[in-house]
Amino acid sequence: MAFYEWTERLSVGIPSIDRQHKTLIGYINTFAEAAQENNGSSAVVIGFVLNNLVSYTKMHFIYEEMLFDRYGYQEEKEHKMHHRKLAVQVEEYYARYKSGDSGFSEDLLSFLMGWLNYHILVDDVAYSGFLSSQGVT
């Protein structure tokens, strides 16, 4: 069973965004598996996944922010601020990994779960009705 299951409860009702959130969850699951197995290739897998997670997170935030700009989403300022903060935190974890800090896997997993849940269920759900009404799919 996956560490973090995507369920309908996490849907923001916009398929393009749901797909991106599923990809992010996929990275978290791959990370969790590698951290659990803790074998010879785990460190390489973790580095690879973290690198992808940092890039994909940035891309996902840019996508959402382009939609905010295009349709004039009223809460965009606060939402963008949350994106910046999360991007910095993910980068910090990546820097810890690169510096050879080996005790960070559990911290990182609970951080990732927490931020993704908050990002989707609080911040993103808030724009769902507005962007859907603009015809975003």
Sites of contact with Fe ion (CB under 5 A): 64, 123-124
Q: Output the smallest distance, CB 72 to Fe ion, in A.
A: 16
Measured from the CB atom, the residue of 85 and 98 that comes closer to Fe ion is: 85
Q: Output the smallest distance, CB 133 to Fe ion, in A.
A: 18
Measured from the CB atom, the residue of 31 and 124 that comes closer to Fe ion is: 124
Measured from the CB atom, the residue of 2 and 66 that comes closer to Fe ion is: 66
Q: Output the smallest distance, CB 38 to Fe ion, in A.
A: 30
Q: Output the smallest distance, CB 118 to Fe ion, in A.
A: 10
Give the distance, in angstroms, between the CA of residue 30 and the centroid of all CA atoms in the same chain. 13
Residue number of the CB atom closest to Fe ion: 124
DSSP H or E segment with residue 93: helix 76-98
Q: Is residue 56 left, alpha or beta, with left meaning phi > 0 and alpha meaning psi from -120 to 50?
A: alpha
Q: Using CA atoms, how far apart are residues 115 and 23, in angstroms rounded to an integer?
A: 15
Residue 134, phi then psi, degrees to nearest 5: -90, 0
